[in-house]
Structure formats: C-alpha cells, structure tokens
Amino acid sequence: MLASHDVIVAGAGPVGLFLACELALAGCTVLVLDKAATPDSPFKRLPFGLRGLTAPSIEALARRGLLDRLAIPQRLKTPFSAAASAAAPRQAGHFAGIPLDRDLVDTARWPYRLPAATPASLVAEMAELETVLAERAQALGVAIRRGCAVAGFVQDADGVTVSAGAGAGGDALRCAWLVGCDGARSAVRKAGGFDFAGTEPQFTGYSASVELVDADLLRPGRVQTPDGMYFQSQPGILALQDADGGAFHDAGRPVTRAHLEAVLRRISGTRVGIASVHLAATWTDRARQATRYRAGRVLLAGDAAHIHAPLGGQGLNLGLGDAMNLGWKLAAAVRGAAPPGLLDSYHAERHPVGARVLDWSRAQVALMRPDPHARALYAIVRDLLATRDGATTIAGRLWGISIQYELGGNHPLVGRSVPAFAFADGTTVDAALRPGRGLLLDFGHDAALPAVADAFHGRLAYLPVHARERLGLCALLVRPDGIVAWAGDGTPDLQALRQAAARWFGT
Ligand SMILES: Cc1cc2nc3c(=O)[nH]c(=O)nc-3n(C[C@H](O)[C@H](O)[C@H](O)COP(=O)(O)OP(=O)(O)OC[C@H]3O[C@@H](n4cnc5c(N)ncnc54)[C@H](O)[C@@H]3O)c2cc1C
C-alpha cells in the first residue's frame, strides 16, 4: 500500500496542530486525525481554558507569525493589570502557590534577552489558540479529519498503517511516519508499547464553576489547609486540591453537587454551600513520561509523551516546544535529507526538558502537602522566593528562559534560543525565521560566509545584517526552530561552522 501522506498526526490539540503546521511549512503532506467530532469544549474557553504561555512558546508563535493573531492576551492584559492594586506585588506566576513578584526578578542576569524580546509570559485561551493553529494548518494544506480516532497501527520498514475511524475495524490509512499527539491517554503510545514511567498522584484536583451559598466564608487567595488547598479565582470559579491520593479522579466518578460541596467544606473547614454546579472536571498530579519518544517510524509529542500536575502551567508549553523541535527534523527525514542522528536528537533534546518539568511539578506537590514537614519547608521556600536570587532562579525556570540544549560548542549561546536581534532595516530575527529555514546571520559581513550557506542548497539562508545590538558576535548559525547551533565572536572559525551546519542540515 502506498503512503497517502508523509505524516499522520494523531490528535488535533494544540500540539498536534502546531506540529502539523511545522511539517507542512517544510513541505510535507500531513493528515491530522482527531477522536472528537468537534473541537468545541467549555473547558477550552475562559476561564477554564486559560493557559499560561512561557518564553519558548511565545517565541515559537512569534517566529511563525502567529503571536499577533491571538487576541486574548491583548484583551486580558488590561483587566489583569488593573486588578493588581498599587500595594500588591506584581505577580508573575507562582511556585507551589507562592506568588512570584515580577519586580524582584533580576533580568540583567539574562544578557541574551534583548530589549526586543517577546514577553516572557502571557495568558492564552485554548480555544483561540487551537482555532488559530487549525486555520494556519489548513492554509498550509493540512487535512484535518475529526470524529476519527486512531485505534492502533502496524509499522514496517517503509511506513505505518494506521487503523482509525468508526465502523468495523475502521479505515486503514498509510503514511511514512506517525506522530502521537493524542493527549494523556494516547492510543498511539499504548499501541506502540511505549513505557510510560513515573510517579503516582498525591491528590485529586478539581476545576469547577459553581453557584456558592455563603461565599464569604471562604478566604481570599490560595488557601492551604490540613486537608488540601482551595482557591476562588473569580466568584464561583474554584480550584481545589484534595489530598486523597488521586482516588476520586481515578475512580472516574462524576462530580456531583453533593460531592463537590462535601470536599469544599472539608478542605475549607467551613459550612460554605454549593447551590449548583455549572461545570466541573478533575485531574491529578500523576507524573509520567515516555522513556523514549521514538520507536522506528512512530513518535510521541505533548501530553502523549508526558503528563504531570498542571501546577505552574507547563504542559502546553512543553508540548509546543516538542512540536517546534520535532517539526523540521521529521520534515528532513521525510525528504530523505536528514543527517545521521538528526531525528534522534528530538528525544535527546526534549526528554531532559520534559523530565525537568515533571520534577518541577513534583517539587511543588511536595511543598503543597498539608503535613507539618511540608508546611515547614514551604515557609522556607516562600522566604527564598522573596529574595532577588530566589525569584530570579524560579522565574528563569518558570518562564523557560533557562532552557539550553546540550549541543556541545564553545559559546554560551549554543543550544539556547536566538536573542531577539532587531536589524537596522527594521526587520527582526523572528521575522527572518518565519519561512522555517535555518539562518546564517552574518554581523561582520565576512566574504567567506555566503559560500558556506550556499552549500546547503536553500536549507540555510545567508543573511548579512546590521544589528543594533550584536552581543559581540561576528556570525551565528540558527536552526529552523530558533536554536543557536554555532556562534562566532571573533573571526569566524569556518571549519567549526561548516561542521555545525553539516550536523544540522546534512551535506
Ligand atoms: C486545569 C489545567 C490547567 C492547565 N494550565 C496550563 C497552563 O497554564 N499552561 C500550560 O502550559 N499547560 C497547562 N495545562 C496543560 C495543557 O492543557 C496540556 O498540557 C495541553 O493541552 C496538551 O496539549 P496536547 O495537544 O498534547 O494534548 P490535548 O490538548 O489533550 O489534545 C489531544 C487531542 O487528541 C485527541 N485524541 C485523543 N485520543 C485520540 C485518538 N485515539 N485518536 C485521535 N485523536 C485523539 C483529543 O480529542 C484532543 O483533541 C493545564 C491542564 C489542566 C488540566
């Protein structure tokens, strides 16, 4: 059977859609299959669909011209800043519920974040993000089929046969590569026998929209109690954590009014009432990660590859980062142009980033436990977060600024996101990355550099630039995902540059 598509992506969530965009941008034919008949869900709209985006995701969207298409961050900006009183610290996220004060963060410690950098954090809405990504994917020629669940697959040396859709056995669809972006309960991960290793939950989390009776019995802000945590972010919008070891969520029972009221009363130690429940969902802090992200022609990305507590809002960011990292590499493999090891560098680079996020969420869960030992530790961490060093360290991880892939190389920029260079002609490095090609930025206008880029036949664009701030660099090699692959700060070492270019762009 001939492959009808280069890549089938299972799952039209944000990660699957962004990956499809990246693949199509690089010239692949892509089919996205999603189990749900419609993308609509109240959990994807505000307030439940609110998602914090961090620097790598914001940069990725900006580098593909998608950031400006999101209206929600701009719409929410005013109410959010207006809500903060002059006396209150300017909260820029939290760690285990401890607010992070933006004014304490010492941004001078991040010399590569130039003034033109996109914000390090902003809020988005899942529904809007998915709509923007789906429109972009379709504009690039991606086919999206909804109401069509992937049930399993068989792979051989040349491709993958995917069984999907309703009916007896469903359809058999053939592709060269399959990527599972089908969320936490990924059918691709299960069918592929991927090991999903990790830790069991400490609590059941609840997100609910309710009508409260005697709401003023609840204290404002995030309130930790001996039985868990409650937080009323807006009137009737509740987040609860019940230290039940995840038992209620795992039992799969519906969240009734009576149950939710009992949990809220127990956690808050009050007689607050719930008159009605408009919407409710549960989740846990179970933290698991696929031990490998690739098995032959099948790969995993997003929640399919890793799950953890939503504390501190990292899951979507982690998944978008997977997609940005994988897209151009898989596209090179589709073209048969991938240098040795390129596709496996996806796991090598992204698995450690995922493992750090899982530990980040575990650390928060440990601090939020209601027992006296955890409360004592919480008090110490809270004090540390009120210091400049503490706030800067936490912000660097929370906002994804400290991410650096281990690529070797002798410059501290290698493996990091390219600084937001602004050029004298009014363009930016983000705009130059929009076509999804690698860049050779030449700050010193070296006569030898155009030939280096030419050898890569269109995969690498040579760009002589006059940058307002060039950080002492003479030239920079940037991968299509915006990661610095080589940096020169004197006379360019042409041999090292050619080696780095061959490593990422082939010969
Ligand atoms: C309460 C809460 C708050 C959160 N807040 C944040 C935050 O602030 N910041 C952040 O970064 N992250 C946050 N997250 C996490 C974030 O929502 C997820 O990590 C993100 O949605 C993962 O995207 P995904 O595309 O990998 O998976 P999903 O969004 O789960 O999408 C998977 C898609 O696959 C489809 N699918 C499922 N099975 C199949 C199948 N067999 N075949 C085909 N399709 C299938 C589904 O219908 C779905 O469309 C939060 C999560 C929760 C629960």
Task: Name the residue of 9, 182, 241, 403 to mutate for ligand 1: max ligand atoms within 8 A of Cβ.
Answer: 182
Q: Which of 434, 506, 338 minimizes the C-alpha distance to 25?
A: 434
Q: How many angstroms does the Cα of residue 484 sit away from the middle of ligand 1? A: 29
Q: Which atom of ligand 1 is nearest to the CA of 188?
A: 41
> Which tens digits make up the pLDDT trace of 300-312?
999 999 999 998 7
Q: Crossing angle for the helix pair 315-335 and 55-63, nearest 10 degrees?
A: 40
Residue 50 clears pLDDT 60, i.e. is over it: yes
Residue 169 clears pLDDT 60, i.e. is over it: no
What DSSP letter does each residue of 169-210 carry, written as one string?
S-EEEEEEEEEE---TT-HHHHHTT--EEEE--S-EEEEEEE
The pLDDT-based confidence of 246 (bands split at 50, 70, 90) is very high
pLDDT at residue 79, rounded to an integer: 42
Q: Give me the mean pLDDT over the 202-220 stretch.
A: 95
> Which tens digits make up the pLDDT trace of 88-100?
447 778 999 899 9
| Distance (Å, whole) CA 469 – CA 421 | 7
Q: How many angstroms does the Cα of residue 122 sit away from the middle of ligand 1? A: 18
> Which tens digits make up the pLDDT trace of 384-437?
999 999 999 999 999 999 999 999 988 999 999 999 999 999 999 999 999 999
Q: Which atom of ligand 1 is nearest to the CA of 181?
A: 26
Is the Cα dihedral 182, 183, 187, 191 positive or negative? positive
> Which tens digits make up the pLDDT trace of 477-493?
999 999 999 999 988 89
Q: Give me the mean pLDDT over the 349-354 stretch.
A: 98
Q: Give me the mean pLDDT over the 286-297 stretch.
A: 98
Domain locations along the chain: 5-197+288-398, 204-284, 429-505
Q: Crossing angle for the helix pair 315-335 and 344-368, nearest 10 degrees?
A: 170
Give strand pairing partners of 440. 462, 477
Strands 438-442 and 460-464: parallel
pLDDT at residue 411, rounded to an integer: 94
| CATH number for the domain running over 204-284 | 3.30.70.2450
Q: Give me the mean pLDDT over the 172-176 stretch.
A: 96
Q: Which of 162, 175, 143, 163 minimizes the C-alpha distance to 334?
A: 175
Q: Give me the mean pLDDT over the 260-282 stretch.
A: 96
Ligand 1: lining residues by beta carbon, under 6 Å:
10-16, 33-36, 51-52, 149-150, 181-183, 187, 207, 283, 302-303, 310, 313-317, 319
Q: How many angstroms does the Cα of residue 185 sit away from the middle of ligand 1? A: 10
Tokens representing 63 are 């580098």
Q: Nearest C-alpha to atom 17 of ligand 1 is from which residue?
A: 316
With contact defined as beta carbons under 8 Å apart, do 360 and 354 qualify?
no
Q: Which atom of ligand 1 is nearest to the CA of 10?
A: 43
Measuring CA to CA, how many Å separate 310 from each of 25, 252, 325, 378, 483? 30, 19, 22, 19, 26
Residue with tokens 């069991």: 200
Q: Which atom of ligand 1 is nearest to the CA of 316?
A: 11
Q: How many angstroms does the Cα of residue 66 sit away from the middle of ligand 1? A: 20
pLDDT at residue 47, rounded to an integer: 87
Q: Nearest C-alpha to atom 19 of ligand 1 is from which residue?
A: 315
pLDDT at residue 83, rounded to an integer: 42
> Which tens digits make up the pLDDT trace of 22-40?
999 999 999 999 999 999 9
| Distance (Å, whole) CA 488 – CA 332 | 26
Task: Name the residue of 51, 72, 95 to mutate for ligand 1: max ligand atoms within 8 A of Cβ.
Answer: 51
Q: Nearest C-alpha to atom 49 of ligand 1 is from which residue?
A: 13
Q: Which atom of ligand 1 is nearest to the CA of 151?
A: 41
The pLDDT-based confidence of 78 (bands split at 50, 70, 90) is very low
Residue 16 clears pLDDT 80, i.e. is over it: yes
Q: Give me the mean pLDDT over the 268-293 stretch.
A: 97
Q: What percent of the chain has pLDDT over 90?
A: 85
State the amino acid at position 347 in one-letter form.
Answer: H
Q: How many angstroms does the Cα of residue 480 sit away from the middle of ligand 1? A: 25
Give strand pairing partners of 212. 274
Q: Nearest C-alpha to atom 31 of ligand 1 is from which residue?
A: 13
Task: Name the residue of 9, 35, 58, 233 to mutate for ligand 1: max ligand atoms within 8 A of Cβ.
Answer: 35
Neighbours of 119 (CB within 10 A): 15
Neighbours of 483 (CB within 10 A): 24
Tokens representing 462 are 């040579």
pLDDT at residue 187, rounded to an integer: 98
Q: How many angstroms does the Cα of residue 13 sit away from the middle of ligand 1? A: 6
Residue 56 clears pLDDT 80, i.e. is over it: yes
The pLDDT-based confidence of 212 (bands split at 50, 70, 90) is very high
| CATH number for the domain running over 5-197+288-398 | 3.50.50.60
* Residue 195 burial (C-beta neighbours within 10 Å; 0-12, 13-18, 19+): exposed
With contact defined as beta carbons under 8 Å apart, do 218 and 270 qualify?
yes
The pLDDT-based confidence of 165 (bands split at 50, 70, 90) is confident
Q: Give me the mean pLDDT over the 46-60 stretch.
A: 93
pLDDT at residue 53, rounded to an integer: 94
| CATH number for the domain running over 429-505 | 3.40.30.120
pLDDT at residue 87, rounded to an integer: 46
Q: Nearest C-alpha to atom 36 of ligand 1 is from which residue?
A: 182
Tokens representing 332 are 């090179």
pLDDT at residue 76, rounded to an integer: 63
Q: How many angstroms does the Cα of residue 281 sit away from the middle of ligand 1? A: 14
| Distance (Å, whole) CA 399 – CA 122 | 10
| Distance (Å, whole) CA 162 – CA 4 | 11
Q: Give me the mean pLDDT over the 94-107 stretch.
A: 92
To the nearest whole number, what is the mean pLDDT of the chain? 93
